[in-house]
A and B are shown apart, each in its own frame.
Chain A
Amino acid sequence: LFCSTTSRGSSMKAAVLIQRWYRRYMARLEMRRRYTWNIFQSIEYAGEQDQLQLSSFFTFMLDNFTQLNGNGPDLISQLLDPVVDPWLDRETCYNLIHVPESYTGPRLSFPLSVADTNALLSAFKDQQTLHARYVLQLLYETKKLLKQMPNIVHLSTSYYKEITICGDLHGRLDDLLLIFYKNGLPSAETPYVFNGDFVDRGKKSVEVVILLFAFLLLYPDYMHLNRGNHEDHIMNLRYGFTKEVMQKYKTHGREILQLFQDVFSLLPIATVIDGKILIVHGGISDQTDLDFLSSIERHKVSGINQLWPPGVRKNNFLHIHRQLSSFFVLVNTFICFTLEQIVDILWSDPKIQDGCSPNTFRGGGCYFGPDVTQRLLLQHGLQLLIRSHECKQEGYEFCHNGKVITIFSASNYYEEGSNRGAYVKLGRELVPRFYQYQVSRTTRKLTLTQRVRAAEGSALRALKEKLFSFYICTRLASGRVSVCEWALVLESVLRLDLPWRTLRPHLARLAPDGSLEYQSCFEDMGPGIPLPQVTPNLAETLFRYRTDIEIIFNIIDKDHSGLISIEEFRQTWRLFSAHLGVAIDDSAIDDLARSIDFNKDGSIDFTEFLEAFRVVHKLDSKDQQLHEKMDGEKRTG
């Protein structure tokens, strides 16, 4: 008995020791998970700040309108080309497009039947692409349908058992298929509301949005779509949808994109259930007026190039149009107000404190507090606001004392294992029930540790790319700084609110004297192709604003050929750098233009040019090959 007491005692000691170490281990894992999340979110929001930069560049362009006018290519009209009214019927000759016998994908017949949607589902599961002819026809029919819809769609649970509401999908076909698998396809028994952001970021935006539109056409009474802030052609230029369409549809891509633009602007902006539950993509502001929103012509807002930076609204507009008639100004003030109302709905985020402030991170909309929610709900006799727009770790989140639900349906949004997706179901009693899921990329189940490690690796890599663009320009002579200085500089230059000191071990080495070896951050990184001969100033600008420049070039490149003329390049570049306040003399720009006109034919392949300013990770090529291999296996497997 004495022996067993001793061994019990040592079992106890052993247990406590293991438990202590386990708790330490979990706390450290949690910290890694937390800063990984912060990194992804900060970078995402910083990207959206850059979008703000772009919008203000367009403002700047308008300001300089008279200077450019008559001086070479009319960039202004190119960039800010008044959009063809989406209400008008665009010329679509889809029926003239020949579908070859060799095409084995779905051949849709309109009006659509269940056979068509089933064909689409299995085709997309098999990695097939829908032929351009059917895409165009589908979009054309969708546009016709949407024109008949009001801005705010009212639903009643007296017709349905339960309504399912899904959030952002962002081109994640796997998540959509998983939802359909778990919850059922759209039907009279299973009505759906999809709350915007169907496209961008994910690689299957085309397939996702085609499926949603197909079900919309099939069951217009049971399928409801709200517009999100990514249903917008300017956003699509930055976040990947435009590129995806052009890659999948080389011949008809432009036409398809134009129709998408029309369809997006015709999507309803809100759904109300039983007069009690409001569903919008982003949120609300203290100016939100649902009656006003019901009455406007929503299709007039096609893209955020019509927007101005928050906080600089009406004044700026008047300033821009100072040369035009006062009547025009008056009309435009009204349009401006309309734009603001829609932008608020599509872009706003809830915050914890009371009040309403401009949403500077996003570049549009507001941060709205619980008091704003309360007031709006009361005003319209509502009891709940359901919105999406923000990624949540569990796929959903309550805030504002349970009056606001965020629902997000793209699992693993930042990285494999980063978050779950969710959808919410509402029955007659209007009590929300949540269903969560997570798409898994590998068939082998990853442990928590493996998931955290993978996500962390991905986050750190993205962060280092940000650092690299900054490094090119700073050229610190000694290459050594104190940790304190390093953290301060990064914080101010990158404007990313992150725990730099905690991240430091992953980013830079310490020298024996405790100072930071600056270059050690970037040993395994380099530019995509050898840098053209440029001054450091120019290099920095090109690195940092690479995405913006790409967007501008894409806008100029109307026929999506990948080429722009040297003159266009020069003009744009000059303007952009003037706007940024970066002093770059004309000869530097000319040299640059000439050096990148690789075949000396007066036109520039800007994709190739920008390749130089993409950051690659030198040790990565093996990883990349492995990833590609895994992707390939996943497709066939």
Chain B
Amino acid sequence: MAPKKKEEPKPAAPAAPKPPEPERPKTPEFDPTSVTLEFTPEQIEDFKDAFQLFDRTPTNEMKITYAQCGDLIRALGQNPTNAEIMYVLGKPKAEDMNSKMLDFDQFLPIHQHICKAKDRGTFEDFVEGLRVFDKEGNGTVMGAELRHVLATLGEKMREDEVEQLMQNQEDANGCINYEAFVKYIMAS
């Protein structure tokens, strides 16, 4: 019998944890026909109104690009991750994002799916998340640390996006009161 191979520490550290999976991991491709629409007629009219605002086609064809889909869903009040958006769009290629179009009927099941998803993140979740960075436990986080995290972890933000977010949030010491910060982000 060969001796048991000793477990050696691997020379390289394991890769950083993967970005969070979409809401429904390990399911096959998103099937729009499987979604039951539960919106009221009033809601659908509201969505149509907003959809038109995003429609950039020259003849008002009521179509938007794939790239706009996420923005529209968010403008309507949801907060999906980028991964979730890509999932409901059927994981399109990067070059398709600006060329492939969706009409309103195709948009509805996508939006419905996102609306139904649980775990949107409440005020408390948000605050808890930020508390992680509260080294001193005093209700503030270091702006610099938060910037670093947002630009390097998760669905990374660009520097200008981070700047946009943090504008006027830090006090003279570079600290952010995170409850106030969360209220600011979650407000419309």
Spell out A's residues near B (CB within 8 Å).
5, 7-28, 30-31, 34-35, 38, 351-353, 447-449, 483-484, 487, 499-502, 514
Contact = CB atoms under 8 A, between A and B. Distances in A.
B97 to A, nearest CB: 15
Interface stretch (B26-34, B88-96, B103-111, B124-132): B124-132
B71 A17 contact: no
B174 interface: no
A21 B79 contact: yes
Given A448-B164, A484-B45, A499-B49, A12 B186 contact: no
B76 to A, nearest CB: 9
Contact of A18 (B50, B77, B129, B188): B129
B180 interface: no
19 contacts: A5-B17, A11-B132, A11-B133, A15-B155, A17-B121, A17-B126, A18-B130, A19-B154, A19-B155, A20-B79, A27-B74, A28-B75, A30-B71, A31-B50, A353-B59, A499-B53, A501-B46, A502-B46, A502-B49
Contacts of B19: 12, 16
Contacts of B157: 19, 22
A16 B82 CA distance: 10
Interface residues of B, number: 51
A20 B81 CA distance: 5
Contact of B45 (A20, A352, A501): A501
A18 B185 contact: yes
A229 B98 CA distance: 37
B115 interface: no
A33 to B, nearest CB: 11
A27 B114 CA distance: 16
A351 B59 CA distance: 11
Considering residues A10, A352, A501, which has the most beta carbons from chain B within 10 angstroms of its beta carbon? A501
Given A14-B132, A502-B53, A21 B46 contact: no
Contacts of B121: 17, 20-21
A22 B161 contact: yes
A12 B17 contact: yes
Contact of B126 (A11, A21, A38, A487): A21
Given A12-B153, A12-B154, A26-B164, A17 B125 contact: yes
Given A12-B17, A35-B53, A448-B164, A30 B129 contact: no
Interface in B140-184: 146, 149-150, 153-157, 161, 164-165, 167-168
B78 interface: yes
Contacts of A31: 50, 53, 75
A353 B60 CA distance: 12
Given A11-B133, A23-B74, A16 B79 contact: no
